């Protein structure tokens, strides 16, 4: 009996991770990037660029597996994306916002204490791809 209860709890937890609603009012917020930072739960980056750079980065991000727009658009000046892990479907949120001649990116996890560098690797790959396409 205990086995079945534990199994049910595990399945319910996994279902919640996959199906929990993502409220744009909570996640599509100003990333407040004042400097590049590597955090336990994510990463913040600032890069030079304007509307064209934002559009190019937007295309790169949408080419990423299991990534979609939660809210916003480059034309609005802010977009928040959800990227899900391959096996468990853990959601990570990345907000990109256009400022005065720069873009601020803030990628963070939703569940857990540490993202184990996943957001840093993802964002740095996007930025490397952007730089390669611009050159």
CATH of domain 23-134: 3.30.310.80
CA–CA separation, 11 and 70 (whole Å): 25
What is the domain partition of the chain in residue ranges? 23-134
Helix (H/G/I), strand (E/B), else coil: 80 = strand
Q: Could you tell me the pTM of the whole model?
A: 0.90
Q: In whole angstroms, give the CA distance from residue 108 to residue 55.
A: 21
Q: What span, in angstroms and rounded, lies between the C-alpha atoms of 118 and 88?
A: 14
Local confidence pLDDT in tens for the 135 residues of the chain: 888 888 889 888 877 777 789 999 999 999 999 999 999 999 999 999 999 999 999 999 999 999 999 999 999 999 999 999 888 888 999 999 999 999 999 999 998 888 889 999 999 999 999 999 887
Beta strands 91-98 and 42-48, pairing class: unpaired
């Amino acid at each position: 009996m205990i086995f079945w209860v534990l199994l049910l709890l595990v399945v319910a937890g996994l279902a919640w991770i996959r199906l929990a609603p993502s409220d744009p009012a909570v996640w599509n917020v100003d990333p407040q990037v004042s400097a590049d930072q590597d955090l336990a739960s994510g990463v913040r980056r600032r890069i030079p660029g304007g509307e064209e750079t934002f559009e190019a980065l937007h295309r790169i991000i949408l080419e990423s597996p299991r990534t979609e727009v939660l809210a916003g658009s480059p034309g609005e000046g802010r977009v928040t994306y959800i990227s899900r892990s391959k096996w468990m479907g853990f959601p990570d949120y990345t907000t990109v916002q256009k400022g005065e001649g720069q873009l601020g990116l803030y990628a963070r996890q939703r569940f857990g204490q540490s993202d184990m560098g996943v957001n840093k690797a993802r964002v740095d790959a996007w930025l490397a791809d952007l730089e390669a396409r611009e050159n």
